[in-house]
A and B are shown apart, each in its own frame.
Chain A
């Protein structure tokens, strides 16, 4: 099949390709570095499939256009980077409150404020803890290769539709900008619930209302407990992670996204010298793979979390190991030239072990 031919593409392009393959009908976005390849690609390719591309007047408008399109039941998406994602939080909160599915892509750059355009993982808390008001969570997927930028974008559409929770693909400027060879797998539809809640006109029948306003006695509380149960179900069924060389490890490195690739090289360097180190890579950041970490920490007592920040995911690693293990942290806050080298991480491993 022609579509299975390998393609040498940027991570951002892989996201856009996967979205079209997964049935994206409406994309609404706004330019910001380092994600602009996504709207550029979709402005060219999405209309060819009969889909709609609009460059909105703002990040705020684009997420609200996503809200409107999603309310009618179609697959819809927006993408941005830190400053733009901050502006979208209002709309994401409303979508979470209205149980509307959508895909949001965050190609993280450094911050706070205008920051810079280099790779960062400092939006971890914003993404995984509910970045807007009111108390909610969204699904957060963290690719670490261009292939996964493709695969996880498709998964994001499915999980979002399945659970009626917005889904975010959380990557960074390295993953967005670098080129790798990928296999653009065809989208295979999974059984999904029908969108009987969507607004499509009553046709003279039942009225559908998509809303997040709950004023009746006990309604708002009931909504929160319902979503709480759904988040738990999500954690049980959809937590994903990857382990590398963990079976006999004395030390496990926890890292996601681009950092996990550097960590993997460091693990290989350590193994070459006979140091028993493994890697635990969360693929879903929400739900966080607590069970995977908990079961590993029952036998491996030393952990090292590595992030491109002063430490955010480390909080969740510590909660997951509970009292079973000791968790150290090594971070390089984002900034030009602050990506750690494998040698640097190898030195950190030696510090922990020796």
Chain B
């Protein structure tokens, strides 16, 4: 009998704390598969952020350092500069990376730090209970935008993958989604490429992963999954925005 599917060896055999229908688990799995494919888990240091992303160390069998809210790219800079022979990545949510940590991500990217950044965009603050994020969609109701995001008052959502692709220091920038088998196949390839850039010492790589947050969206997992395709992807188009070395 041929085994077609197995748990990535970089992931621990444990249950996650993620809500039903949450996409963090799928994204974790793809990151682990990328590490497995290069055999780098033993030399990888993860920089966890806060909120739902913080428990990286409970799920990945890798060394992890916790970062203050938004500061993971600065922490990762310190880790990588101290240990340039290690693989270093940060894993951050949208409030973390695109609001309180905007300065840290822009500057780490502009310096061309030899790190990989996994940015999970689910258009809301998850752990704190569904408040408005910098990526919240126009009109989207959250606990701090009860009448829907008003773009006159709050501006429009950030498109981080495109924004960062404009910086010379960025070698690779892509947006992925895990809402369909087709998108998962492309996401797997993109995340692998993002780590390949670091393995081959070719520069800063950025992945924006669109994700569902059924609990805070007030939707069941199926409807939340559909929202990713119907509402998010039209505003946050999938694709590769920068690929310096065409890896």
A residues apposed to B, CB below 8 Å: 25-26, 28, 52, 54, 56-58, 60-62, 64-74, 76, 90-91, 94, 98, 199-205, 207-213
Residue of A nearest to B100 (CB): A60
B107 at the interface (CB under 8 A from A): yes
A26 lies within 8 A of B81 (CB): yes
Residues in B neighbouring A199, C-beta threshold 8 A: 45, 63-65, 79
Q: Name which of B44, B45, B62 has the most chain A CB atoms within 10 A of its CB.
A: B45
A61 lies within 8 A of B82 (CB): no
B177 at the interface (CB under 8 A from A): no
A54 lies within 8 A of B103 (CB): no
Residues in A neighbouring B75, C-beta threshold 8 A: 64-65, 67-68, 71
B78 lies within 8 A of A26 (CB): yes
A94 lies within 8 A of B68 (CB): yes
A68 lies within 8 A of B63 (CB): no
Residues in B neighbouring A212, C-beta threshold 8 A: 66
22 contacting pairs across A/B (C-beta < 8 A): A28-B78, A52-B82, A54-B77, A54-B81, A56-B107, A57-B106, A62-B74, A65-B74, A65-B78, A66-B78, A67-B74, A68-B67, A94-B66, A94-B67, A199-B63, A200-B83, A201-B86, A202-B41, A203-B43, A209-B65, A212-B66, A213-B54
B242 at the interface (CB under 8 A from A): no
C-alpha gap A212/B48 in the complex (Å): 12
Q: Mark B69-87, 1 if CB is under 8 A from A, else 0.
A: 0010011111111110011
B77 lies within 8 A of A65 (CB): yes
A71 lies within 8 A of B61 (CB): no
Residue of B nearest to A61 (CB): B74
Given A58-B103, A64-B71, A207-B57, residue A26 in contact with residue B64 (CB < 8 A): no
B104 lies within 8 A of A57 (CB): yes
Residues in B neighbouring A211, C-beta threshold 8 A: 48, 57, 64-66
Tally A-B pairs: CB < 8 A.
Answer: 137
Query: Contact size class for B?
Result: 35 or more
Residue of A nearest to B41 (CB): A202
A61 lies within 8 A of B104 (CB): yes
B82 lies within 8 A of A202 (CB): no
Give the top 7 A-B pairs by smallest Cβ distance, nearest first: A68-B78, A64-B74, A65-B78, A199-B63, A68-B75, A57-B107, A69-B78
C-alpha gap A69/B64 in the complex (Å): 13
Which among B41, B63, B66, B82 is the interface contact of A69 at CB below 8 angstroms? B82
B57 CB, nearest partner CB in chain A, Å: 5
B146 at the interface (CB under 8 A from A): no
A200 lies within 8 A of B86 (CB): yes
Q: In the complex, given contacts A60-B71, A201-B45, A201-B63, what are 12 additional A-B residue pairs having Cβ atoms less than 8 angstroms apart?
A: A61-B74, A64-B74, A64-B75, A68-B76, A71-B75, A199-B45, A199-B64, A199-B79, A201-B43, A201-B87, A202-B42, A207-B63
Residues in A neighbouring B48, C-beta threshold 8 A: 211
A91 lies within 8 A of B81 (CB): no
Residues in B neighbouring A58, C-beta threshold 8 A: 103
C-alpha gap A69/B78 in the complex (Å): 4
B31 at the interface (CB under 8 A from A): no
C-alpha gap A76/B74 in the complex (Å): 14
B47 at the interface (CB under 8 A from A): yes
Residue of A nearest to B72 (CB): A64
C-alpha gap A54/B43 in the complex (Å): 24
C-alpha gap A209/B78 in the complex (Å): 16
A166 CB, nearest partner CB in chain B, Å: 14
Which among A52, A70, A74, A200 is the interface contact of B45 at CB below 8 angstroms? A200
